[in-house]
Chain A
């Protein structure tokens, strides 16, 4: 069964997150607003670029309420300076998402009667399947305040959580009830607070309806994400996607179990059509997360940033990596353009994509991360094998092929049923109605 054509359908974060997580708050820090404001926040997305003690954290903003009500509070290990804070474009997230998203690879069976052709070089026919988506008394000290892009930023240090809560309320930040107890552990650990509001004038100048992602850098031993603050008002499970860019190898959690999603299996070919693959992935992820009681961190992708196979999207260019916070690229790094084949020398950038679905009870501690020296590639890749369509009487091999095909289709149906909990009979019905797809 030779690889002939290879296409990749890719699952971007946002479309499935909408359905999977109808209501959630920000992963770290919290968005604040009036009670009647819709605060829908899709799967939170974060980029962490880390080299030694240097960490750059970028946070995607899916805030949909009134801009006047927007506020973001994030605990940070050190006092951030003006130069440490930037506004980046949403497309950096879109590119990382597209490049690392779970993918569907499609293959066509050979004519069993034809002589075996010499294996063709790996086709680079992958298409980008993703659309671009687009105060002293209180013990609070204002360490710094400045504006960056459409945001007014204040860096605070605090001695008491009650004082910090009062300060935030007095200064027009609406803090969810129960914020003080959640803030306390961060204060006692000596952490500072990065607080952002929208500057409406600056926002009007950008001409965009969306708030751009905020990015800041700092030096700290702490390699963690302060998730707990975002759970104050959470009711159901929340989703978080973390793109970690490192120099050495795969990143995993040090205080929760990190596991790879079931992947690289053959699935019924009808998943190719419409939203079927998206539905499959959503359901499968949901099943896996529930099976682990929302206590696991799932690895969806880990690969050297300079190549991919199959490519769901082009690897990020040098400029895109710089925008994502990668500071350790050598001057002559060859990271431009698509490279479906392994590069001769290893890229200095490794991408780990982690997907968490958590509840306040299942993740009682902030997520602590560690970089391992593991460099074995992994991707959430699912395979469709389109059968050869021919007559049983064409040759002896054809009859054997068609007998084997029946077993294969049954195996594919079983796997799909196990992964999703879908009714096997329904799967078989759909299998039998699957349209014929011919190689291009």
Chain B
């Protein structure tokens, strides 16, 4: 038996730990988080989901990603991104057959190679997959109420969500979206003279928080400029609100993101000077390992501690990866 002595970490150690956590490829965190959420749902929430459906989703998404990258000659074979998409689709899409999930996954990933603009794919693959399932496939649906309205669960998701999006440098869009959406919900409560318990019920939904922190935060399918990104988040929030509470339709969040997506190229054009650097190939190996080898992490830490500007970032797949400076 081995005893491990645990000593309280001093402040500096925490800072270093936090910096290290932030430098990990966010998709690993996303996969870990979404995976545990899927497990939670399958085990404790009676998600109407079969293990075969999850396996087929992964198989189809990874195969399509691999083939797409080879055939299109586009840089990268972001299998991590495909895995994130697979998890997202498994969590969201429900079907009464086995063929819906792989078909949705294949179409969603294929769209990444086909529907492109300015070196980026246009649609968030998980969002597009959900819309394909909702609009075109028989025996497919989504269950926005499947999470229940458990506040504790929501907080748990939010906390993890913050971790992931902060390391994806997309902290801003999630909070901008939530700020506008919650403000609209609150205004509605005040206007109707309804009770605040209604807001609590609306906010403690796993679906809302999952959307805010894991779907809209995708760096590849949101505007490059921060200001435009905030504007985009606000537009999505307004559409989602109108869709749900003015037009009385369901699935407002996924519809809003789907409808707002064509605005991204426009917003990118409005503020094109400061768009992200999109770096091919190099970013696709597991980021942390590479950083360890190159000593980049130490370099970043040193820059942070000395107050120097952080190294430029570039993004790949669905999340940010800290890149090596040229």
Tell me whether A and B are bound partners.
yes
Q: Which residues of A contact B192 (CB under 8 A)?
A: 184-185, 188-189
Do B138 and A373 touch across chains, with their CB atoms under 8 A apart? yes
Give the distance in Å from the alpha carbon of A221 to the alpha carbon of B244 in the complex.
11
Q: Which of the residues B146, B200, B250 comes within 8 Å of A257, measured between beta carbons?
A: B146
Q: Kindly state whether residue B143 has any CB partner on chain A within 8 Å.
A: yes
Q: Which DSSP category, helix, strand, loop or mixed, fits chain B's interface?
A: loop
Q: Which residues of A contact B197 (CB under 8 A)?
A: 361, 364
Binds B, one of A13-21, A147-155, A246-254: A246-254
Give the distance in Å from the alpha carbon of A221 to the alpha carbon of B138 in the complex.
22
Give the distance in Å from the alpha carbon of A257 to the alpha carbon of B144 in the complex.
8
Closest approach, in angstroms, between the C-beta of B45 and any C-beta of chain A?
A: 8
Do B141 and A364 touch across chains, with their CB atoms under 8 A apart? no
Q: Which residues of B contact A249 (CB under 8 A)?
A: 139, 141
Q: Which residues of B contact A223 (CB under 8 A)?
A: 248
Do A375 and B198 touch across chains, with their CB atoms under 8 A apart? no
Closest approach, in angstroms, between the C-beta of B69 and any C-beta of chain A?
A: 32
Interface string of A164-193 (1 = CB under 8 A from B): 000000000000000001001100110000
Do A181 and B193 touch across chains, with their CB atoms under 8 A apart? yes
Q: Which residues of A contact B249 (CB under 8 A)?
A: 221
Given known contacts A255-B145, A256-B149, A258-B145, A375 and B96 CB-to-CB distance under 8 angstroms = yes
Do A374 and B141 touch across chains, with their CB atoms under 8 A apart? yes
Give the distance in Å from the alpha carbon of A364 to the alpha carbon of B205 in the complex.
14
Q: Which residues of B contact A221 (CB under 8 A)?
A: 247-249
Given known contacts A372-B143, A376-B96, A257 and B201 CB-to-CB distance under 8 angstroms = no
Give the distance in Å from the alpha carbon of A253 to the alpha carbon of B205 in the complex.
13
Q: Kindly state whether residue B191 has any CB partner on chain A within 8 Å.
A: yes
Closest approach, in angstroms, between the C-beta of B150 and any C-beta of chain A?
A: 8
Q: Which residues of A contact B195 (CB under 8 A)?
A: 364
Given known contacts A221-B248, A364-B197, A365-B201, A258 and B141 CB-to-CB distance under 8 angstroms = no
Closest approach, in angstroms, between the C-beta of A109 and any C-beta of chain B?
A: 31
CB contact list, B121-172 vs A, under 8 A:
137-141, 143-149
Give the distance in Å from the alpha carbon of A303 to the alpha carbon of B94 in the complex.
18
Closest approach, in angstroms, between the C-beta of A261 and any C-beta of chain B?
A: 11
Give the distance in Å from the alpha carbon of A185 to the alpha carbon of B141 in the complex.
30
Q: Kindly state whether residue A295 has any CB partner on chain B within 8 Å.
A: yes
Give the distance in Å from the alpha carbon of A189 to the alpha carbon of B198 in the complex.
15
Do B141 and A372 touch across chains, with their CB atoms under 8 A apart? yes
Do B143 and A252 touch across chains, with their CB atoms under 8 A apart? yes
Do A372 and B201 touch across chains, with their CB atoms under 8 A apart? no
Given known contacts A259-B46, A368-B250, A376-B96, A184 and B193 CB-to-CB distance under 8 angstroms = yes
Do B193 and A373 touch across chains, with their CB atoms under 8 A apart? no
Q: Kindly state whether residue B194 has any CB partner on chain A within 8 Å.
A: yes
Interface string of A373-409 (1 = CB under 8 A from B): 1111000000000000000000000000000000000
Give the distance in Å from the alpha carbon of A260 to the alpha carbon of B172 in the complex.
39
Q: Which residues of B contact A370 (CB under 8 A)?
A: 144, 250-251
Closest approach, in angstroms, between the C-beta of A311 and any C-beta of chain B?
A: 23
CB closest chain-B residue, reference A378: B48
CB closest chain-A residue, reference B191: A188
CB closest chain-B residue, reference A250: B141
Give the distance in Å from the alpha carbon of A376 to the alpha carbon of B141 in the complex.
12
Closest approach, in angstroms, between the C-beta of B311 and any C-beta of chain A?
A: 45
Interface string of B250-284 (1 = CB under 8 A from A): 11000000000000000000000000000000000
Do A257 and B145 touch across chains, with their CB atoms under 8 A apart? yes
Q: Which residues of B contact A188 (CB under 8 A)?
A: 191-193
Interface string of A210-240 (1 = CB under 8 A from B): 0000000000111110000000000000000
CB contact list, B2-57 vs A, under 8 A:
45-46, 48
Do A222 and B248 touch across chains, with their CB atoms under 8 A apart? yes
Do A365 and B198 touch across chains, with their CB atoms under 8 A apart? yes
Closest approach, in angstroms, between the C-beta of A149 and any C-beta of chain B?
A: 31
Given known contacts A188-B191, A295-B149, A364 and B201 CB-to-CB distance under 8 angstroms = yes
Interface string of A335-376 (1 = CB under 8 A from B): 000000000000000000000000001001100101011111
Give the distance in Å from the alpha carbon of A253 to the alpha carbon of B145 in the complex.
7
CB contact list, A267-316 vs B, under 8 A:
292, 295-297
Do B138 and A364 touch across chains, with their CB atoms under 8 A apart? no
Q: Which residues of B contact A256 (CB under 8 A)?
A: 145, 149
Q: Which residues of B contact A296 (CB under 8 A)?
A: 148
Give the distance in Å from the alpha carbon of A370 to the alpha carbon of B141 in the complex.
10
Q: Which residues of A contact B149 (CB under 8 A)?
A: 256-257, 295
Give the distance in Å from the alpha carbon of A223 to the alpha carbon of B247 in the complex.
11
CB closest chain-B residue, reference A161: B193
Q: Which residues of A contact B250 (CB under 8 A)?
A: 254, 368, 370
Do A185 and B94 touch across chains, with their CB atoms under 8 A apart? no
Q: Which residues of A contact B48 (CB under 8 A)?
A: 374
CB contact list, B207-236 vs A, under 8 A:
none
Give the distance in Å from the alpha carbon of A222 to the alpha carbon of B247 in the complex.
8
Do A258 and B139 touch across chains, with their CB atoms under 8 A apart? no
Q: Which residues of B contact A295 (CB under 8 A)?
A: 148-149
Q: Which residues of A contact B202 (CB under 8 A)?
A: 255, 365
CB closest chain-B residue, reference A361: B197
Q: Which residues of B contact A260 (CB under 8 A)?
A: 46
Give the distance in Å from the alpha carbon of A259 to the alpha carbon of B148 in the complex.
10
Give the distance in Å from the alpha carbon of A376 to the alpha carbon of B100 in the complex.
15
Q: Which residues of B contact A161 (CB under 8 A)?
A: 193
Closest approach, in angstroms, between the C-beta of B258 and any C-beta of chain A?
A: 17
Do B139 and A375 touch across chains, with their CB atoms under 8 A apart? yes
Interface-central residue, B147, B148, B191, B247, by most chain A CB under 10 Å: B148
Do B146 and A373 touch across chains, with their CB atoms under 8 A apart? no
Do B96 and A185 touch across chains, with their CB atoms under 8 A apart? no
CB closest chain-B residue, reference A364: B197
Closest approach, in angstroms, between the C-beta of A229 and any C-beta of chain B?
A: 13
Q: Which residues of B contact A252 (CB under 8 A)?
A: 143, 145
Closest approach, in angstroms, between the C-beta of B86 and any C-beta of chain A?
A: 21
Q: Which residues of A contact B143 (CB under 8 A)?
A: 252, 258, 372
Do A185 and B145 touch across chains, with their CB atoms under 8 A apart? no
Q: Which residues of B contact A376 (CB under 8 A)?
A: 96
CB contact list, A395-426 vs B, under 8 A:
none
Interface-central residue, B143, B145, B195, B201, by most chain A CB under 10 Å: B145
Q: Which residues of A contact B201 (CB under 8 A)?
A: 255, 364-365
Q: Which of the residues B46, B140, B198, B205 comes within 8 Å of A373, measured between beta carbons?
A: B140
Do B193 and A374 touch across chains, with their CB atoms under 8 A apart? no
5 pairs from A and B in contact (CB 8 Å cutoff): A185-B193, A370-B251, A374-B48, A374-B96, A376-B96
Which 6 A-B residue pairings sit nearest by Cβ, starting from the closest? A372-B141, A364-B197, A257-B148, A185-B192, A370-B250, A221-B248
**Given A295-B148, A373-B139, 20 other A-B residues pairs in contact with their CB atoms under 8 A:** A221-B248, A221-B249, A223-B248, A249-B139, A252-B145, A253-B145, A254-B145, A255-B145, A255-B201, A255-B202, A257-B147, A257-B149, A258-B143, A258-B146, A364-B198, A364-B201, A365-B198, A373-B137, A374-B141, A375-B139
